[in-house]
C-alpha cells in the first residue's frame, strides 16, 4: 500500500468506546427466523447444475467475513457503486444518539471489489450464516468481470425502495456522522479505515472512500475531548 490514509489508528482510538450490545434493531426483529433458510434455498435454486455460489464483497465482508471462503478474486461490477447509503445502524457501529451509516451498493456507476466463493460442501450452512450477518435484504444477482473471466455473484444492495436506504446526503453530512458513530462492534471510523486499507492493499483504489477518510480524519482531529469520549 503506497498511499497513506489521513485517518490513522490513533485517530480511530480517540473515538472508540466500549458499548454493550443493545440487542436487535427493529428491522431485525421483524424478520422471521425462517427467512434466512428460505432465502438461502431460493438462491441455491437459481444456480445452474455444478455452478458455484460467489458473493460480491465491497465493504467489511472483505476483511471481516463470518465464514471461510473457498476462493477469492478481485472483480468489477457495473451498474452499482459503493456508497454510505444503508442506515441507520443503532447497534453494531452506531447507537441511538449517534447512529451509523453503513456501506452498500447504490444504483449507477461501477464498483471494484472482491468475489468470494462459498465451498459447495458447506453451501447450505454457510449461506444461512452469511445471511444472518448481513442486513435482512434479499441479495441480488450481479455480473462480475474478473481477470479469469466473467461470473455472476450475489450482492447485498440497497434498493432505493428499501426502508433502510438513506440517500441525498452530502459528503460533509456523511462525514459528520461517520466521525462520531460508535456501536458495540466498534466505530464507523474503524470500519472506514479497515475498508480503505484493505482495498488499497488489493490495488482497488476508491476515490470516494479516500476522500471520505480524509474528511473523517479532519473531523476527529478537531473534536473536543468530551465529544470524543461521549461524556
Using alpha carbons only, what angle is made at residue 175 by residues 107 and 18, rounded to the nearest 5 degrees?
A: 110
118 burial (CB, 10 Å; 0-12 / 13-18 / 19+) is: buried
Question: Catalytic: which of 51, 121, 132, 134?
Answer: 134
Question: Is 134 a catalytic site residue?
Answer: yes
Contacting residues for 114 by C-beta, under 8 A, at least 6 apart: 56, 57, 58, 61, 62, 72, 73, 74, 75, 202, 204
By DSSP bridging, strand 186-187 and strand 182-183 are: antiparallel
68: cell is: 471461510
**Is residue 145 within 8 Å of 76, Cβ to Cβ?**
yes
How far is residue 188 from each of residues 79, 113, 158, measured CA to CA in Å? 26, 20, 18
Strand partners, 183: 186
Closest among 106, 112, 79 to 167, alpha carbons compared: 106
- Catalytically active residues are 134
Amino acid at each position: 500500500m503506497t498511499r497513506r490514509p489521513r485517518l490513522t489508528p490513533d485517530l480511530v482510538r480517540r473515538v472508540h468506546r466500549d458499548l454493550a450490545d443493545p440487542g436487535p434493531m427493529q428491522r431485525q426483529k421483524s424478520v422471521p427466523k425462517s427467512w434466512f433458510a428460505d432465502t438461502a434455498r431460493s438462491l441455491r435454486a437459481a444456480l445452474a447444475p455444478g455452478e458455484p455460489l460467489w458473493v460480491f464483497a465491497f465493504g467489511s465482508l472483505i476483511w471481516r467475513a463470518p465464514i471461510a471462503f473457498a476462493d477469492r478474486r478481485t472483480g468489477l461490477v457495473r451498474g452499482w457503486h459503493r456508497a454510505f447509503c444503508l442506515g441507520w445502524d443503532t447497534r453494531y457501529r452506531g447507537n441511538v444518539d449517534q447512529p451509523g451509516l453503513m456501506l452498500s451498493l447504490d444504483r449507477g456507476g461501477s464498483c471494484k471489489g472482491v468475489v468470494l466463493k462459498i465451498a459447495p460442501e458447506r453451501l447450505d450452512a454457510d449461506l444461512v450464516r452469511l445471511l444472518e450477518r448481513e442486513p435482512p435484504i434479499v441479495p441480488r444477482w450481479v455480473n462480475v468481470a474478473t481477470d479469469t473471466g466473467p461470473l455472476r455473484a450475489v450482492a447485498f444492495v440497497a434498493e432505493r425502495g428499501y426502508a433502510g436506504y438513506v440517500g441525498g446526503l452530502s459528503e460533509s453530512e456523511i462525514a459528520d456522522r461517520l466521525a462520531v458513530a460508535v456501536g458495540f462492534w466498534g466505530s464507523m471510523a474503524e470500519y472506514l479505515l479497515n475498508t480503505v486499507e484493505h482495498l488499497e492493499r488489493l490495488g482497488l483504489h476508491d476515490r470516494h472512500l479516500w476522500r471520505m477518510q480524509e474528511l473523517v480524519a479532519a473531523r476527529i482531529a478537531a473534536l473536543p475531548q468530551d465529544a470524543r469520549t461521549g461524556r
